[in-house]
Chains A and B, each alone.
Chain A
Amino acid sequence: MINKSAVEMAEALNKGEITSVELTKAHLKQISEVDGQVHAFLHVDTQGALEQASQVDAKRSAGEKLPALAGVPLALKDVLVQKGIPTTCGSKMLEGWRPPYDSTVVRKLKENGIVILGKTNMDEFAMGSSTENSAYGPSRNPWDLTRIPGGSGGGSSASLASFQAPLAIGTDTGGSIRQPAAVTGTVGVKPTYGGVSRYGLVAFSSSLDQAGPCARTVLDAAYLHEAIAGHDPLDSTSINAPVPAVVAAAKDGNIKGMKIGVIKELQGDGYQAGVLKLFNESLDILASLGAEIVEVSCKYFDYALAAYYLIAPSECSSNLARFDAMRYGIRNGQGSAEEVMNATRQIGFGREVKRRIILGTYALSSGYYDAYYGSAQKVRTLISRDFESAFKLADVLVSPTAPTTAFKIGEKSNDPIAMYLNDIATIPTNLAGIGGMSLPSGLAAEDGLPAGFQIMAPAMKDDLMYKVGAALEAELNTKWQGPILNSAPTIGAK
């Protein structure tokens, strides 16, 4: 059962073929068997998950009408707070902290009867592309345990790819949902900025952060998307408009006559040959389904990475100032409040987090603000305009999700720029606030590892990417004679 899709699990629950408690236990068993090797979870809430599952079962047997995903388990990225459950954000700084409140995403998950298995590993405060920046050690890619599962949400993607959970929540600031999905052969969606509430999402970069669904199928992601999306009065940047009908779009999958724009700037140099080949094969499939493929140019995308690495660190330098040992988290050192703050931040934050705080502090300093933060904001506007023009020519835009397949753990640890380049194709959507999806495009010829196909849609037209994604997925699954994860090596119990 754990190899099924979430929708199939929900059907089995509805038909009474299995209870939520049984389903949850099956996943807890898988976690106990494989997570010693994968290290997807930072905390497993066995008791809480089983309690939640038995509540759903009770409601179901009482004949209550339940939401679509009620009783299906899920893995939650450790950057979203859940009342009473340790939330570390992959940092030593928050070791032992148990939040006194639920994030809006968690509240919605609970309202939907979705069973939260535990908290998944991530790069510290969501800064990274490999989970190697987690203070608790990296997660491993179920396709090859010596490789990274992507980041920052590598714990969530690894949990899906190793069947420890059928659904997961990620957050995406520059690609942290989509790139892990690409390198693990799973599906990840960054909704339109403001589509899912950020209340209770521990902020890395407020104007870029967006929580979204991670799953093994496009339809599963759509159901989870609808469960967590919607306006939230507790988040001022949340969009007050109806949630796009993504489930209907994923079920529809008719793309005949749709215009699909290939972004010229997001291919070529720096992209692995096998990844590009799979991308082009996917384009051929979309064309064969009746879509019109056009090429578009977004010339300011070349500056996206530079702008991102000014805006995100600037905001993080301010967002992470609150970790000062005064109210929660660890405390280190003695003497004045200032000395304690200093000593705590010294040991509490890892190297990458410090690097970005320093970068952001510098970029916001008087005398440098205009040249750095100010210019980056202008680039951001130009990138939004690039997208606007491109969306005049195409309904959705597409690119490879990440330039390469999963790299080896340790391979890029000492080269931050090489690491940052992983997100070159995903960052523009965050800067523009639009939605992006990654789904598997196949296994690259060179290394047999999964690659991702990215679909981007205009703001609040998230349904379009589900429609295209579902169409492509259906064709590819036929070609592969089943989901791509069927080809993944089985991780045995050790």
Chain B
Amino acid sequence: MALKYEDVIAKYEPALGLEVHVELGTASKMFCGCNTVFGAAANTQTCPVCLGLPGALPVVNGKAIEYTIAIGLALNCSIAPFSRFARKNYFYPDMPKNFQTSQYDEPICTNGYLDITIDTDEGSKDFRIEIERVHMEEDTGKSLHMGGATGRIHGADYSLLDYNRAGIPLVEIVTKVVNGCGKYAPEVARAYVSELRDILRGLGVSDVKMEQGSLRCDANVSLRPIGSEKLGTRSETKNVNSLKSVERAIRSEMIRHAELLNSNQRVIQETRHFHEDTGLTTSGRSKEQAEDYRYFPEPDLVPIAPSKELIAKIAATLPEKPSVRRKKLQEAWQVPDKEMAAMINADVLDLVEATVKLGADPTRARSWWLGEIARIANEKAVAAAELAISAADVAEVITLIVKGELTDKLARQVVEALINGEGSVAKIIETRGIKVVSDDSSLMAAIERAIAAAPDVAEKVRGGNIPASGALIGAVMKESKGQADAAKVRDLLLKHLGQG
């Protein structure tokens, strides 16, 4: 019987440390000119440099440096006038050089912060997450371990290596120890990653897709008895592939730690792997003994010394902060806090904004994205943004509704068809023959036919039994295959039978 979360937080204070890795969206890799397109055939985006062939040398991607400076500035960091790359030495088959070119004691950005707000039962609460450092490094290749039960290297029969990812620019954003969250620790972590993601997306430096690994979060969690100053032993949970998982993984780790501590067992310092299906973590690599990476300054690269002018230029082009933007949108749309939070949680704020920008009414835009579309996205277990429906599509549908050319019901069919990839709004309306029947004469003919088919019912209506008209309306609607405006049919029918 698992411990209850309430019992955990009654006794322990959590401390968090979040390490977020972001794959930068540069067209080429960190140290060579290879493409960075996701999903290309294995080992097709490689060259002597990113394969670590003997003799090959790295050259820094200037765009990656600019992106990293932009991230640092957006996170209120100091930008180092002089920083260096360092080699992190360890052997692993998916690391072509058996060292990772990273930054060590001279990172490019340090000492920043990010303010976040979470929505709680006690109202909204603000937290400041302090950023220790932001540094650049290269990604490793990918190993696919075949034949084993766990998909991990241990127990595998053989492994396949894909170096397309090797050398993709990564930025690592590391927080200082996050204290004082209490029971909100999981929500705070989620909100931090979510806010960070919005900032990165706003900067246009990454596509920040957690499920594709372009944004990855390692969550360090430790517990200590409430009132104690000394931090407990931490675990580092990896494989956290969605915002929801950030929250779940931390909650699950807090419960696991508390169970160990309650039974006087030791928390082992190790990496843990989060499993989406069970919501639990399993043991990974021990970190009890600090690994010696033998860092030293990368002799193949010259130090990075961004000029003040470059930093000022980047600072001048930073977009509005997501928190400021959200406040503006909320005021402009006059949305209550809860609704705003719902849009953020469903990750549809950008989509709603884009839809409104195309002329749609904010309330209608919100209700489509949060309602029907979010429902389908949920069913398919994907993000709304990944569905084959764009803000332009939704804006077009809303315009047709306002013009009376689509009913809500017909519009839902159009939206479903869009998501199924049946083409543009106009094409769907045409091929599916969707049309609001508003021509009175053709409706009247259908009403006459309905009356002729059920004269007794018509007689009841004439006699004042209004509810009986439902059967006749239904018949007309059926004949029009649901395309007639039901309210209009009702009006015409009742008038025709002397009840209007």
Interface residues of A (CB under 8 A from B): 80-81, 87, 89, 94, 97, 99-101, 103, 198-203, 205-207, 233-237, 314-315, 317-318, 321-324, 326-328, 336-338, 341, 361, 364-366, 369, 373
Contact = CB atoms under 8 A, between A and B. Distances in A.
A326 B161 contact: yes
B57 A236 contact: yes
A203 B302 contact: no
A167 to B, nearest CB: 21
B156 to A, nearest CB: 9
B55 A322 contact: no
Contacts of B91: 321, 324, 338, 341
Interface in B285-312: 290, 292, 294-296, 299-302
B301 A236 contact: yes
A199 B294 contact: no
Contacts of B56: 101, 199-200
25 contacts: A87-B54, A89-B54, A97-B54, A99-B53, A99-B55, A199-B56, A200-B56, A203-B54, A203-B55, A205-B299, A206-B300, A235-B59, A236-B58, A236-B300, A315-B299, A318-B89, A318-B99, A318-B296, A327-B51, A327-B53, A364-B89, A364-B294, A365-B292, A366-B292, A366-B294
B299 A207 contact: yes
A234 B59 contact: yes
B204 interface: no
Given A234-B59, A327-B52, A373 B296 contact: yes
A322 B97 contact: yes
Contacts of B59: 233-236
B55 A81 contact: yes
B55 A236 contact: no
Interface of B: 48, 51-60, 87, 89, 91, 93, 96-99, 153, 159, 161, 290, 292, 294-296, 299-302
Nearest to B87: A318
B285 to A, nearest CB: 14
Contacts of B53: 81, 99-101, 327-328
Given A201-B55, A235-B57, 16 more contacts: A81-B54, A99-B48, A99-B54, A101-B53, A203-B54, A207-B299, A236-B301, A237-B299, A237-B301, A317-B89, A318-B294, A322-B52, A337-B153, A337-B159, A364-B89, A365-B292
A200 B48 CA distance: 9
Contact of A236 (B60, B98, B153): B60
B48 A100 contact: yes
A17 B301 CA distance: 48
A100 B292 CA distance: 34
B299 A206 contact: yes
Chain B interface, DSSP helix/strand/loop, else mixed: loop
Contact of A103 (B55, B290, B294, B296): B55
Q: In the A-B complex, list the 7 residue pairs whose CB atoms are closest, starting with the nearest.
A: A321-B98, A364-B294, A206-B299, A207-B299, A200-B55, A202-B54, A337-B93
A352 B89 CA distance: 21
A30 B48 CA distance: 35
B61 to A, nearest CB: 11
A200 B300 CA distance: 13
Contacts of A198: 57
Contacts of B57: 198-199, 234-236
Nearest to B97: A322
Given A103-B55, A364-B294, A322 B302 contact: no
B54 A236 contact: no
A207 to B, nearest CB: 4
A99 B51 CA distance: 12
A361 B294 contact: yes
Nearest to B163: A327
A324 B93 contact: yes
Contacts of B159: 337
Most chain A CB within a 10 A radius of its CB, from B55, B153, B159, B296: B55
B93 A322 contact: no
A101 B302 CA distance: 24
A173 to B, nearest CB: 12
Contacts of A205: 299
Contacts of B153: 336-337
A91 to B, nearest CB: 10
B296 A364 contact: yes
Nearest to B143: A337
Contacts of B60: 236
B7 to A, nearest CB: 40
A321 B59 CA distance: 20
A103 B368 CA distance: 59
A369 B51 CA distance: 29
B55 A199 contact: yes
B251 to A, nearest CB: 35
Nearest to A361: B294
B312 to A, nearest CB: 25
Contacts of A323: 54
Contacts of B93: 324, 326, 337, 341
A318 B56 CA distance: 14
B2 to A, nearest CB: 36
Nearest to B294: A364
Most chain A CB within a 10 A radius of its CB, from B53, B54, B87, B299: B54
Contact of B54 (A234, A322, A341): A322
Contacts of B301: 236-237
Contacts of A203: 54-55, 300
A333 to B, nearest CB: 14
A237 B98 CA distance: 21
A315 B161 CA distance: 27
B349 to A, nearest CB: 42
Nearest to B154: A336
A337 B98 CA distance: 13
Contacts of A202: 54-55
Most chain A CB within a 10 A radius of its CB, from B52, B56, B58, B292: B56
A322 B96 contact: yes
Contacts of B96: 322, 327
A317 B292 CA distance: 14
A225 B53 CA distance: 26
Most chain A CB within a 10 A radius of its CB, from B56, B93, B294: B294
Nearest to A207: B299
Most chain B CB within a 10 A radius of its CB, from A236, A338, A365: A236
B163 to A, nearest CB: 8
A361 B87 CA distance: 13
Nearest to B52: A322
A233 B58 CA distance: 10
A39 to B, nearest CB: 23
Contacts of B52: 322, 327
A201 B56 CA distance: 8
A80 B51 CA distance: 17
Contacts of A99: 48, 53-55
Contact of A369 (B54, B58, B296): B296
Contacts of B58: 236
A366 B290 CA distance: 10
Contacts of A326: 93, 161
Contacts of B300: 203, 206, 236-237
Contacts of B55: 80-81, 99, 103, 199-203
B29 to A, nearest CB: 14
Contacts of A317: 89, 294
Contacts of A235: 57, 59
B48 to A, nearest CB: 5
B196 to A, nearest CB: 31
B270 to A, nearest CB: 19
A58 B159 CA distance: 51
A364 B248 CA distance: 40
B30 to A, nearest CB: 12
Contact of A324 (B89, B98, B292, B295): B98
Nearest to A206: B299
